[in-house]
Amino acid sequence: MKVKDHMVPLSECARVAEDRSLFDAVLMLDACRQRFEHSDYRPRVILVHDQDFKIVGSIRHLDLLRGIAPGRPVAGSGSSVPVAGSWAEVWANLNKSSRSIRVKDLMYRYGEEEYVPEDTPLELAMDRLVQGPYLNLVVTAKDVSVGIFRLSDLFAMACRDIKKSGMH
C-alpha cells in the first residue's frame, strides 16, 4: 500500500494563501466544513499555500489561538507591545484583528521531512507520523502538493483494525 491510497486529496481540504488574513482563512475552513457536514470527515486544519500553490504550512488550533492571544507582539512590527491585555479585549476586537493578522504570521511552516511522495510505502509514512511530532504529512506528486496524510486518519485506521481483530 502507498500513502496516496490513504491521503485526503487537497480538493477536500481548507486552503488559503499565506498572504491572506486570518478572517479569510476561517471563512475557507467554514466553507470546507459545510461541504462535509453530513460525513465523518471534519476538516480541522487550514492548509497554507504560497503563490505557486505549494502547501507550505498550516493553521492548527493552537496556531490560531496563539495568534490572537493577549500579549502577543504586533505581527511584523518587531514590537513587543501587546495587541490586547486580556482575552475579553481579544474577543471584543476579534472582527478587526482577524482582518489585520496575516496567515504567514501565525501559521506552522512545514519542514522538509513533512513532505512525502505519493508512492511512499504506507509503512514509511506511518513511521514518520508516529516518530515525528507531526499532525500530518503533505503528499506530493512531482513536487506538486496533492493531499495530506493525517495522524487522525492513522488513529482511525488503528482503531478500526483493533475492533476487527477482536471480532474473530
Q: Rounded to 5, what percent of the chain is helix, strand, coil?
A: 45, 25, 35
Cell triple for 161: 483494525
Q: CA-to-CA distance for 135 and 129, rounded, in angstroms?
A: 7
pLDDT > 70 fraction of the chain, expressed in percent and rounded: 90
Domains and CATH numbers, the chain: 3-165 (3.10.580.10)
Q: What pTM, to 2 d.p., does this model score?
A: 0.84
Q: Which amino acid is at 160?
A: R
**Residue among 154, 108, 147 nearest 131 (CA):** 154
Q: CA-to-CA distance for 19 and 56, rounded, in angstroms?
A: 12
pLDDT, one tens digit per residue, over 65-122 is 988 888 776 555 444 444 557 889 889 888 888 999 999 999 999 999 999 999 999 9
DSSP 134: -
Torsion of CA 33, 38, 40, 41, to 10 degrees: -20
